[in-house]
Amino acid sequence: MICLALAEASQVWPFVVLALCVAAIVLLITKLRVHAFLALLLAALLAGWLTPSGSLPGELTDSELAVFRIVGERPTDLAGVQRQLADAGLSTGRVSRTLDRLVAKGGLLVEGNGEARTYRAIITEAEAKRFHGRNHFVHVLDQVARDFGTAAGSIGIVIALASIIGVSLMESGAADVIVRRFMRLFGEKRAGIALLASGFFLSIPVFFDTVFFLLIPLARALGLRTGKNYMLYVLAMAGGGAITHSMVPPTPGPLLVADALKLDLGAAIVAGLLSGILPALGVLYLAKWLDRVSPVPLRETSGASLADLNTIVNRRDDELPSFSLAVLPVVLPAVLIALASFLDMAGKKLPGVVTALGGLESFTMLNAIVQFLGNKTLALLLGALIAMALHLKQCRLTFAALAQKIAPSLETAGVIILITSAGGAFGAMIRHSGVGEAIKELAEGRSVNYVLLAWLVTAVVRVAQGSATVAMITGSALMFAIVGDGSSLPYHIVYIYLAVGFGSVILSWMNDSGFWVVAKLSGFTEQETLKSWTVVATAISVIGLIETLVFSSILPLTGGR
């Protein structure tokens, strides 16, 4: 028991587990070139195996087993438990936390409150010993599989549906319509704004790499037509795409962060869109300045030659769908999800809205319908059905041909689901390791800004291994372990969500696949990409951090949730 007390008094080991796991991810991905799915899965197993036996759900620690030796079927008061465990060297705080864990695990019943609390065991000491004696390594394997399934169940269908929307937007010409409308709205002289808005909008359901593939021919064609501002066009569309790719669900990264932090998806969408406006403006002005001080000429690249680029922008409008139909697959799900979130909040905190909508009975009926339609799965399914119908109509496809067209996107989505689900398992094992509790204890009596901490942790992981998604997984898992549902925060947990998202954008360099997509497809050299795209990505991250810190202070949106 004395050794147990000394072991529990140490707060070093959870940080060792976290550091070893992050180092393992960085080594596996950057040096050994292991696939991100395998790297995250191995890191989850490593975290579980390094976590002391008894710390995982379904296991009992030595201190928890000791409680069952004291607390039997008859009620035992708190003072009695504390006195007997104190003789073994456990502090009062440790005893209270051990009792709370056993209540949460379903091993104890608690009655009363404060110092008058009494505890009664639900299972016998013999049964507790059987739990305590389970093979830790086998239990880790089972726990990782359970956490993997939980993550996949939360995000799998949504990611698959978003991928269908993305490919149908491109194949049907709807994405081209959106870009053309923005070009007409802003004019060729403001083509940078048009490409920024196009990247910002299209990256909501479509992955960053895909959006860049889609828009780079237009940027190159504009550069060919105008004979100038090529760097502005590239950086504007890439910056707009990077913002929503990291901030707005249903893109996998922000979707996983919202799920990990138990944040309402509608709130995540609205917050991500609104918080992206200032960084987007920063991208535009920085891109203009970089284009002026160090312009890059239009060069030949693999794929479409310069002679072929004009065909990209010379398709007739009558070959493309209408603008309203083109944006519907993206706008409808976002509006439904956001509206469902707003009505849910209004029913709890905004009685004036309930009255304005006809009173409680009318509001309840309307809210039930909107909550059904605004369910993230159904909303994305409606968007996917509209996108596929548009795809069928514009391309005159049979259902069999449509299935062949969307199959590659679903294969890609399957890989993303595997990666994000493995990341969810890794995040859960990090939480089980106790690092959140360790950080809480270190922070006691100190002033810790959790927004800054969330951004810093995510940024460090991003710079170390390159993947924004992996960085978001790690940052959100760690912050949930520290702040839980955010009820103890002086501001809404949405600000932690924003800090993680902006932290994942920083310093896109040579270990980031997005860096090479921008460099190779635009014709930039590595040095030119570092001096332009890396600077823009870092500016997005820093502007976003400052914005989040300021608004969490002046507009906390109530504490926690």
Query: pLDDT tens digit string along 148-188?
Result: 998 788 778 877 887 788 778 767 877 677 777 777 777 76
Which pLDDT score, from 0 to 100, does residue 513 have?
Answer: 67
Range name among 33-47, 48-62, 412-426, 492-506 with the lowest pLDDT average: 48-62
Range name among 69-83, 315-329, 348-362, 390-404 with the lowest pLDDT average: 69-83
Range name among 127-131, 251-255, 531-535 with the lowest pLDDT average: 127-131
Which pLDDT score, from 0 to 100, does residue 1 have?
Answer: 40
For residue 558, count CB atoms less than 10 angstroms from its CB and return exposed for 0-12, middle for 13-18, buried for 19 or more: exposed
Which pLDDT score, from 0 to 100, does residue 548 have?
Answer: 95
Question: Which CATH class, in words, describes the domain spanning 60-133?
Answer: mainly alpha
Q: Which long-range contacts (CB under 8 A, 24 or more apart) does 22-31 make?
A: 22/461, 22/464, 22/474, 25/426, 25/461, 25/465, 25/470, 25/474, 26/464, 26/465, 29/465, 29/466, 29/467, 29/470, 29/511, 30/464, 30/465, 30/466, 30/511
Mean pLDDT throughout 392-410?
A: 86
Chain centroid to Cα 370, Å, comes to 25
Which pLDDT score, from 0 to 100, does residue 460 have?
Answer: 82
Which pLDDT score, from 0 to 100, does residue 9 have?
Answer: 41
- Concatenate the DSSP letters of all residues of 168-229 into one string: HHHHHTHHHHHHHHHHHHH-GGGHHHHHHHHHHHHTTTS-HHHHHHHHHHHHHHHHHHHSS-
CA gyration radius, the chain: 26
Given the structure tokens 């030119």, which residue do they identify?
528
Predicted confidence band of residue 65 (pLDDT cuts 50, 70, 90): low
Mean pLDDT throughout 543-551?
A: 95
- Please tell me the distance from the alpha carbon of residue 36 to that of residue 510, in angstroms, as a whole number: 16
Mean pLDDT throughout 72-85?
A: 68
Which tops the pLDDT comparison, 353 or 296? 296
pLDDT-above-90 percentage for the chain: 16
Mean pLDDT throughout 511-532?
A: 80
Average pLDDT, the chain: 79
Angle at 406 between CA 400 and CA 411, to 5 degrees: 120
Residue 313 predicted with pLDDT over 60: no
Residue 531 predicted with pLDDT over 80: yes
Range name among 40-44, 59-63, 218-222 with the lowest pLDDT average: 59-63
Which pLDDT score, from 0 to 100, does residue 506 have?
Answer: 92
Given the structure tokens 């901490």, which residue do they identify?
453
The token pair at 157 is: 């269908």
Which pLDDT score, from 0 to 100, does residue 255 have?
Answer: 83
Residue 304 predicted with pLDDT over 50: no
From its phi and psi, is residue 227 left (phi > 0), alpha (psi between -120 and 50) or beta? Answer: left
Q: Where are the domains of the chain?
A: 60-133
Predicted confidence band of residue 277 (pLDDT cuts 50, 70, 90): very high
Which pLDDT score, from 0 to 100, does residue 552 have?
Answer: 92
Which pLDDT score, from 0 to 100, does residue 440 have?
Answer: 62
Predicted confidence band of residue 389 (pLDDT cuts 50, 70, 90): very high
Which pLDDT score, from 0 to 100, does residue 7 have?
Answer: 43
Evaluated on CA atoms 79, 82, 84, 89, the torsion sign reads negative
Q: Which of 192-201, 247-256, 285-294, 461-470 has the highest mean pLDDT?
A: 285-294
Which pLDDT score, from 0 to 100, does residue 280 have?
Answer: 93
